[in-house]
Each structure stands twice: as C-alpha cells, then as structure tokens.
Structure 1
Amino acid sequence: MSRLERALLVALAALGIALISGTAYALLTGAPARKAARLVVPASEASEGVYEGIGRLRAKTSDGAVVVATIVFPYDAKDKPFKEELATKKAVLKAAALDYLSSQDSAALHPLAEQGVKAALRDIFNAELLLGKVEELYLADFQVIP
C-alpha cells in the first residue's frame, strides 16, 4: 500500500468517525424532538420565537399514572429582558409544571381536557414571570399512561 493510499484511507476513516459521532450527538441531545416541538407552533407565531427550554417532562400523577408532556410557547425573540428571564427561570418553570402535573389525577389530565391543562400551565408560568407573559401554550407531546 502506497503512502497516498494510506493517507486516503486515514482521511476516509476520520470522515466516517466524524459522521457517526455527529449523528450520535444529534440524537442524544434531542435535536429531532426539538424540531418536532417547533412544528407544533403555528407558523405565524413561530416567526417571533419559540421557547422550548422546558423540554419533555415526565411526572407521576396523584393516582399513579405517568404523564409525558413537551411544553413549548411562542414569545417575542426581540424582547431581550424577557428572553433572559426565561433562561434564568428555566428550572423554576420546569419545577412548577412538574408540581402541577404530579398534583393532578389522570382523569384531570386526560387528553380531552388538554385545553384546561394548557390554561392552568399558562397561568402558573405567568405567575412566575415578571418581564413578560405567556399568551399561548402548546403541548407538542401529551400522553397519560395508566
């Protein structure tokens, strides 16, 4: 094997490793899930900005069922103070959503009652936020598993 062939083989191997590791990183960080969450928000509102920092939540309800929810909402991306507040209160918002979901029973969280769940979560988030408010909230993924 000549020196050129070895160099090409090493370059091909490095390219293959980079491709595989990039794909693994994208899948492990949830890039497909974030994209799916953004697609739930209507295009007219998504142009402003979509907050997906809360991510996918898993909580056990008061009657032992498991609820899985991905919470996203549009916001004005040009509003820097509100954007910074969302970043700093990410853990608080996530904890508030988990507390609400775990305090409810599976009947109250049934997918048919999704509008009530969204309204309650929106009100909880607005009580925590000072520099702006959530107008509309979307559940990109919402399941109650008995």
Structure 2
Amino acid sequence: MPLKFVLRPNEKVIINGAVIGAGDRPGSFFLYNTANFLRGREVLKEEQIDCIEKKLYFVIQLVYIFPEDSTLNLQRFASILDETREARPDAAKTLDEITRLVEGRNYYRALKLCRKLFRAANGAAVDDGAEQIGGGADDDDTPTTDRMP
C-alpha cells in the first residue's frame, strides 16, 4: 500500500534530498517505494541552531537527508553527542536512546526524540525554532516508506 502525502498550500517536503513544494492549492501524491522524507516544518535550518540540542538534531538531519555524506556526519554526530552529554547530564537516558536509534539507522525516530529535548531544555515550553520544525508533528508515523504498489 503506498504512502499518501497531502501538502498544504505552499508547504514543502524533502524526499531523498529533493525539496518538493505545493503551489497555491493543496495537493496529494503517493510514494510507492522506499524513501526518506521530512516535512518542511520538521526541517531545522542552520541559522536556527541556538542550543546544543538543536545542533545534535541538525547533524542527525544531515545524516538522514544526505546519506552520501553519512560517514562525515556520523563523525560529527559522535562529537556533538559528547558535547550534549556534558551540557545535559539530566538527559542521559534520552541521549542513550538517540544513540541506539542512530546506530540502528532509525534517524526519523532519533530526530523526533531529539525534538523533545528542545522542550525539556526550555522548561517544557516549545520555543520558536521547535515550533517551526516540530509544531504538532509528533505523530507516530515514521516517514521512511517501505510500501509497494
């Protein structure tokens, strides 16, 4: 069964590194094979990085969206993970789970868990950057399609 996407007007999605956007009207499309994707609201831009948790999210995002550069970005991930562990000893269990997910190549779920660290770092309030990349997108769907026609 294919995965159906519905994009709102002017909404974007990244599929296997390609940015796809809707026009002035909503549109739907289907993915019939394996693909990695992030909705526009889940994408963190480099200029939005204002804390170590977002730096960690960004590097996981790079590994996920650009697998051709994963060797370098996984090295960056290890370094940033160490920094995050130092800065957030209270989040050791979550960081262990993020590490396990990244090692298992389940990058989307690692990103989702990392977004929760933004809220925890800000006293359970979602800051502007987290709203732009997560704002209500905490549904359990993992956007790696594995569906055939």
Please confirm whether the aligned pair reaches a TM-score higher than 0.5, indicating the same fold. no
**Larger of the two Rg values belongs to structure:** 1
* TM-score computed with the length of structure 2 as normaliser: 0.28
* TM-score computed with the length of structure 1 as normaliser: 0.28
